[in-house]
Structure 1
Amino acid sequence: MKKWVATIDLETLEVESDPSFKFKCVEGCGICCERLEIPLRDEDIVAIEELGYNVWEFVDYEKLFYRGDKFLGYALKKRSFDDACVFLDPETKRCRIYGHRPLACRLYPFIFVKHGKKMEIYVKEDSFCPGLNHPEGQPITKEFLLQEYGDVIQSYRQKVLG
């Protein structure tokens, strides 16, 4: 289930948000890396290959993602012994490619949906995520969005504003 948490105007960067919602990614948690199937974009695959990995090490060509009838991409491979992402360190529960992780990993638990010149931001209300409404969490403000997702917002702005 998803819930609206914010809308950002791509022209003015004004943000309207639900002030009651807060989020904090809990370091060393890794539950999302174990439970979710992660779609890979072509850009994600290239970025990980540039780190020296071979696609056969991290792309699961048997899991396909579609939106309607449009093919979106393949899934990030899971380990056979614990069903976690191949890049999750089993001891530290930290991502081995954190700075180059796929966009779906960066965005989680948020879903960005563009409507004209506005970007609506929803949160996936996964019961297993301890960061949702965490007592030390941050509200979804303009500052939070630009700090965490500034490059993503900027790329959407370029597409919308030219």
Structure 2
Amino acid sequence: MKICLSCGKCCYNTEMELSKQDIIRIEDQNTLGLRKDDFCIETDGFLKLKNIDNHCIFLDPNTKHCKIYLFRPTGCKFYPLIFNQEKNKCVIDEDCPYKNNFYVHKPILKKNCRELRKWVSNELFNISD
């Protein structure tokens, strides 16, 4: 798998969902002093990354780099692999301009899809639950 070319496109108008573990890790590790309410919003009963000026709160818009890259949300680690709930399957996000750089080897794609499916099923939570 190749690495991201840091265009930042995936960080604009993000709808990235967060697990409890993501929130705890971000709160514990970020040196920005941010707490859950600073970087999370509730949408459709789920907690998601907050957007500031139409981009993820953790994106540096000048460098296009993530301020919390080493402990970024799990969904960001899988990207551009996403789980399409309507189709009930993993897909490569068509919005990623470099989507062809990722998951070119089927075994890696299948392994990551299993892990993503597990994360969506076991870790994401509806805050009304």
| Equivalent position of 1:64 in the other structure | 43
> What aligned pairs does 1:116-155 form with structure 2 within 5 A after superposition?
121-126=90-95, 129-134=96-101, 139-143=104-108, 149=112, 152=115
What residue number does 2:64 align with?
A: 93
Give TM-score, length-normalised by structure 1: 0.56
CA distance in 2, matches of 1:138, 1:125: 13
Pair 1:144–1:124, CA change in 2 (3 A): closer
Describe the shift of the 1:36–1:50 C-alpha distance in structure 2 as closer, same or farther (beyond 3 A): same
Which of 43, 48, 53 does residue 21 from structure 2 map onto?
43
Instruction: Pick the aligned partner of 1:74 from 21, 42, 47.
Output: 47
Query: What CA distance in whole angstroms lies between the structure 1 residues aligned with 2:5 and 2:110?
Result: 19
Contact 1:112 1:122 in 2 (8 A): yes
Alignment deviations for residues 102-147 of structure 1 (CA, whole Å, 9 cap, x no partner) = 122112221358xxxxxx5321222xx211224xx5513325666x
Matched position secondary structure for 1:75: strand
Q: Give the TM-score of the pair, scaled to structure 2.
A: 0.68
Counterpart of 1:83 (choices 47, 54, 60) is: 54
Instruction: Report if aligned partners of 1:25, 1:131 keep a CA contact under 8 Å in 2.
Output: no
The answer to whether residue 71 in structure 2 is matched with residue 104 in structure 1 is: no
* Residue ranges of structure 1 left out of the alignment (5+ in a row): 1-22, 66-70, 114-119
Structure number having the greater strand percentage: 1
Q: CA deviation at 1:74?
A: 1.2
More helix by share: 2
- Equivalent position amino acid for 2:25 in 1: A
* Post-superposition offset of 1:24: 4.5
- Rg (Cα) greater in structure: 1
Q: Distance in 2 between matches of 1:83 and 1:25?
A: 24
Q: RMSD of the alignment, in Å?
A: 3.2
Which stretches in structure 2 are left out of the alignment for 5+ residues?
123-129
